Structure 1
Amino acid sequence: MAQQRMLKFVKTAKETPEKRDASVRSHDFHEIYREFADAKAAEQASRCSQCGVPYCHSHCPLHNNIPDWLRLTAEGRLEEAYAISQATNTFPEICGRICPQDRLCEGNCVIEQSGHGTVTIGAIEKYITDTAWDMGWVKPVKPGVERAESIGIIGAGPGGLAAADAARRAGLQVTVYDRYDRAGGLLTYGIPGFKLEKDVVMARIKQLEEGGVEFVMNCKVGEDISFDAIRGKHDAVLIATGVYKTRDLRDPGADAEGIIRAIDYLTVSNKLSFGDDVPEFTDGTYNAEGKNVVVIGGGDTAMDCVRTAIRQGAKSVKCLYRRDRANMPGSQREVQNAEEEGVEFVWMAAPKGFSGNPVASVTVQRMKLGQPDATGRQAPEPIEGGIYEEPAEMVIKALGFEPEDLPKLWGVEGLDVTRWGTIKADFKTHMTSLPGVFAVGDIVRGASLVVWAIRDGREAADEIVKFLDATASVAAQ
């Protein structure tokens, strides 16, 4: 009987949660997708084919047991569905909102490949966990046995938080150090509320605090506390700082007033959503209202910036990207959402210079795609004579992120880095060149996805427990 609730993809069409109308949502920072109703979530979950080789599972970095919790949702067994979802994913409600499912689980769904339209995995994952919060099924961590050993985690982003959760479940004493005044990293200050409302993140922070995780905020390692002091205080250290250094522009006039970094712009906007007093917004530096805004870049951070500028009341918002739409790194779903809200994309265009101080215009170079570069993508090349001026009173640099020089910043000797400046860590154990010091997430991988940081954090916590067990065993001999 239960099996009859599945395999309905032949008769039941794919549906996604309803989007709020662009004319309404473009004036606020609330999430744009409405919730699935119980019946609709069960109906869409029932479209899963329960295939023998679930590519959704294998293409998920966390290897979530997706077919299992889809079936349980179709059968109305939501608490069990949540338990299975939470078993492999520390923050399923966050991944359900911000993961690029079109490139991961949904993009590799078997029925999508057969032409029936993918199962809406992300929306159902979000629905399951939101229901779990509403029903009180999400509980603080209570380890079976408390251990005396402690771990210091530097960075309260997704990798650090996932490690904190897993380490507490193993009974370790956990302290998280972070430079910001609120935990969450880019989840809190980098991703806008229309993709991830902040109460969702704050609920997880509170759950970790109630489970015994200590947070030390407004703490800059190398200034407020030394790295050596953290090492001396804890039995193991995990570096999970992420990457925050913005790739810069070297074009003439790039240092003009009004040319700003994406991370600063998004942080200010998100601070406003908490009700903070932000002078940099009040004085107009990070306020797009009434301005012609040009965002440079084609990744998800650029999409966050253009859609934020629309909500701030910009006069016009244009996104310059040096390749075409098919070759942009950002989510196509986000591009569509941005276009609906009034953003204009200027494909095959790159900045060549800037005029005015404060900035008044961008000199734009038209591009074409030439021979493939080292990555196999066609390299953009300038079109001779294809130059024009684009008015702009605000230019946002969304060119990607690079790692900070942590050994120099923290005054640490013996912490090896790669030629890209990322921390060198063992692929399996996440151990760095310093004994008892581990590293995860973007500071190891380079700028990547939240879901990969969560996986790294969970794995590292397990490896840290093994390391501490081995250390204790040697000491006992």
Structure 2
Amino acid sequence: MGKPTGFMDYKRQDKTAEAPESRIRHFQEFHTPLSREEQEIQGARCMACGVPFCQSGQMLNGMASGCPLHNLVPEWNDLIYNGNWEEAYRRLIKTNNFPEFTSRVCPALCENACTCGLHEEPVSTKANEYGIIENAYEKGYAHARPPKVRTGKKVAVIGSGPSGLAAADQLNRRGHLVTVYEREDKAGGLLRYGIPNMKLEKQIIDRKISILEAEGVVFKTGCDVGKDVKAAAILKEYDRVVLACGASNPRDIKVPGRDAAGIHFAVDFLKSTTKALWANEMKLKDGRYISAKGKRVMVIGGGDTGNDCVGTAIRHGAKSVLQLEMMPKAPDQRAWDNPWPEWPKICKTDYGQQEAIALFGRDPRVYTTTVKEFIKDKKGNVCKAVLVKLEPKKDEKTGRMVMTEMAGSEYTVEVDLVLIAAGFLGGESYVAKAFGVEQDGRTNVKTAPGEYQTNVKNVFAAGDMHRGQSLVVWAIREGREAAREVDLSLMGYTNLSVQ
């Protein structure tokens, strides 16, 4: 596990970020990776801790601690420390189908559970993962490896986000004939149209898709199963079906004036920007996207999506950005009741907020605040929003603490563009209804606990459509586990691993 004294001998180093004032002028990734030599030193910091919480992926107090994919972190940290980069790649892809994605967009649950991080800075595992996979592409290790034997069994995967791609990759490796259906013009799901280009450049997705195609996976884009393609036809043609359509049903804000022009869901805003960029050689062209240029922008909701809206609006040239969060500001340090190795419930200032601070001189976030009403101008466009402060109060019926309006705390702000980033309610129901699968109260596809088989024979579900909105690593894990269950049902046994 690296060098026994490495965590004492070397300080943590991570990829360096381009200055906010510079990076807001473009939509490319803005981190500079460490050199190979620097990365090997960081591998040395992985201590012989005995119990590597980094790879545990266990639930503590309702939150994941460590990697849900159970990545063999100590092993590949040790391998890069010793200069064995090819074997480090082999160990990395044993548990993770897409390290080129997770090393860019994962919040690094591994690092937050790192034993070294209990008293010092954690090992820069995410940067090490990035170094391993990019070195593998550079050296040619990450090439296509088509299966040598085919089973003749056919599987349809509906949706090409991380769970669908993981399921397709695993089932194809097993030798099944896999076809992935995607309703958008390009594969990738939320990776392509839900995550901005500056976090994950889309040629990175294309690079992996081309490998999957070379290995035999067939992609049918622009095919909306349940609308363009009948579910009955899919069930007739394929031996098994995996539904992996994501949690694409955005949560709305139901207040007076919601029908005003200029109010959009975050996913539509982000998607329009990505499509416009890739249609015009990474340059935005007026009229092709939902523009924030010169506008007073209000983002409703925190989290990754809210932050992405802030960063994207700034790159458009927004006049100002305001971000509303219903909950109180989290502490800057771990609270006494949130000990390591639990996920740290602390305030995170992400790249978008950093850029807003650099550009406008203040953090865009306003806490314990929500919208009470939108006000339209004479043309029906949103021009103002009435905001109200919130405070926690105990619900007499449930005993739970709920955020409640503070009487007399209303105030009005001027806005030209509102972006709703309040999360997702679950999957869009038309696909589930087309296949006849049951959904729970949150519109997630219902299965037995810990399983992926739906109530319909030969139909399985995975990813956000199954578990609700979550992280890319959870989507990959669900895709891998669903693939194993599908393979077992097809062959009577399985040699597909999930960890």
Q: TM-score, normalised by structure 1?
A: 0.92
AA partner of residue 260 (structure 1) = H
The match for 1:337 among 354, 361, 381 is: 354
Answer yes or no: is 1:391 the counterpart of 2:414: yes
Tell whether 2:232 aligns with 1:234. no
2:370 equivalent among 350, 354, 361: 350
Cα separation, 2, equivalents of 1:363 and 1:105: 41
Indicate if the aligned counterparts of 1:145 and 1:171 stay in contact, CA closer than 8 A: yes
Cα separation, partners in 2 of 1:295 and 1:131, compared to 1, 3 Å? same
- Cα pair 2:255 2:374 within 8 Å, conserved: yes
Q: Look up the match of 1:297.
A: 301
Partner of residue 364 from structure 1, selected from 377, 387, 404: 387
Q: Which amino acid aligns with 2:106?
A: C
Counterpart of 1:259 in structure 2 is: 263
CA gap 1:37/1:358 in 2 versus in 1, 3 angstroms: same
How much does 1:124 deviate? Answer: 1.0
Alignment of 1:89-100 (within 5 A): 89-100=96-107
In 1, the alpha carbon distance for the partners of 2:92 and 2:475 equals 17
Tell whether 2:17 aligns with 1:19: yes
In structure 2, do the counterparts of structure 1 residues 118 and 346 end up closer, same or farther at CA, with 3 Å as the change threshold? same
Residues 87-132 of structure 1 deviation map (CA, whole Å, 9 limit, x = unaligned): 100001211111111xx1111110111x111011111101110111
- CA deviations 1:165-192 (Å, max 9, x no partner) are 1111000000000110000001011100
How far, CA to CA, are the matches of 1:66 and 1:19 in structure 2? 24
Are the aligned partners of 1:159 and 1:453 in contact in 2 as well (CA < 8 Å)? Answer: yes
Which SS does the other structure have where 1:72 is aligned? helix
Which residue in the other structure is 2:336 paired with?
none
Find the residue that maps to 2:160 and give its secondary structure.
coil
How far, CA to CA, are the matches of 1:332 and 1:125 in structure 2? 23
Match of 2:474 in 1: 452
Partner of 2:40: 42
Q: Give the aligned partner of residue 73 of structure 1.
A: 80
- 1:5/1:75 contact within 8 Å kept: no
Q: Give the Cα–Cα distance (whole angstroms) in 2 for the partners of residues 79 and 375 of structure 1.
A: 55
Matching residue within 139, 145, 150 for 1:141? 145
Q: Where in structure 2 are the equivalents of 1:174-185 lying within 5 Å?
A: 174-185=178-189
- Deviation at residue 378 of structure 1 after TM alignment: 4.9
- The answer to whether the 8 Å contact 2:177/2:217 transfers is yes
Structure 2 counterpart SS, 1:384 = coil
Amino acid at match of 2:370: A
Listed one character per residue, the Cα deviations across residues 240-290 of structure 1 (whole Å, up to 9, x for unaligned) are 000111111111101100000111101011112312599x97338610000
SS of 1:424 mapped into structure 2: coil
Provide, for residues 292-333 of structure 1, a one-character-per-residue CA deviation record: whole Å limited to 9, x for no partner: 000000121111111100011000111011112218899544
Report the Cα distance in structure 1 between the residues aligned to 2:443 and 2:243, rounded to whole angstroms. 14
CA deviation after TM superposition for structure 1 residue 411, in Å: 3.3
**2:16 aligned partner, one-letter code:** E
Unaligned 5+ residue runs, structure 2?
A: 57-65, 332-344, 495-499
Do the aligned partners of 2:321 and 2:356 also contact (CA within 8 Å) in 1? no
Query: 242-251 or 176-185: which moved more?
Result: 242-251
RMSD: 2.5
Residue type matched to 2:205 in 1? V
CA contact (8 A) 1:244 1:403 kept: yes
Alignment match, 2:287: 283
Q: How far 1:157 moved relative to its partner?
A: 0.5
- Structure 2: how far apart are the matches of 1:53 and 1:372? 41
Q: Report how far residue 198 of structure 1 moved.
A: 1.0
SS in 1 for 2:12: coil
Q: Does 1:188 align with 2:205?
A: no
Cα deviation per residue 1:325-376 (whole Å; 9 max; x = unaligned)?
Answer: 2188995445653444545111121111111120001111122333489999
* Alpha-carbon spacing, 1:396–1:376, altered in 2? closer, same or farther (3 Å): farther
**Residue pair 2:307, 2:353 contacting (<8 A) in 1 also:** no
Moved more, 378-387 or 210-219: 378-387
What secondary structure is seen at the aligned counterpart in 2 of 1:360? strand
Letter matched to residue 402 of structure 1: L
**Residue aligning to 2:174:** 170
Sequence identity (%): 36
Q: Which amino acid aligns with 1:28?
A: H
Partner of 2:339: none
User: 1:322·1:367 contact (CA, 8 Å) conserved in 2?
Assistant: yes
Say if 1:347 and 1:197 are closer, same or farther in 2 by CA, change over 3 A.
same
- Secondary structure of 2:408's counterpart equals strand
Q: Relative to 1, partners in 2 of residues 1:300 and 1:374: Cα closer, same or farther, differing over 3 Å?
A: farther
d(CA) in 1 for partners of 2:15 and 2:26?
19
Amino acid at match of 1:94: F
Q: Structure 1 pair 136/302, CA: closer, same or farther in 2 (3 Å)?
A: same
Aligned to 2:121: 117
Change (3 A) 1:19 1:284: same
Q: Distance in 2 between matches of 1:186 and 1:383?
A: 37
Aligned length: 465
2:111 alignment partner, one of 101, 106, 113: 106
Mind listing any 5+ residue stretches in structure 1 that lack a counterpart? Answer: 473-477
Which residue matches 2:219?
215
Letter matched to residue 68 of structure 1:
E
Structure 1 counterpart SS, 2:219: strand
Moved more, 293-302 or 343-352: 343-352
Judged with a 3 Å threshold, the aligned counterparts in structure 2 of structure 1 residues 319 and 358 are, in CA distance, closer, same or farther, namely same
- 1:52 maps to amino acid: G
Corresponding residue of 1:475 = none
Partner of 1:419: 441
Partner of 2:59: none
Shift in Å at residue 465 of structure 1?
A: 1.1
Distance (Å, rounded) in 1 between the aligned partners of 2:358 and 2:151: 52
Aligned-partner Cα distance in 2 for 1:350–1:46: 47
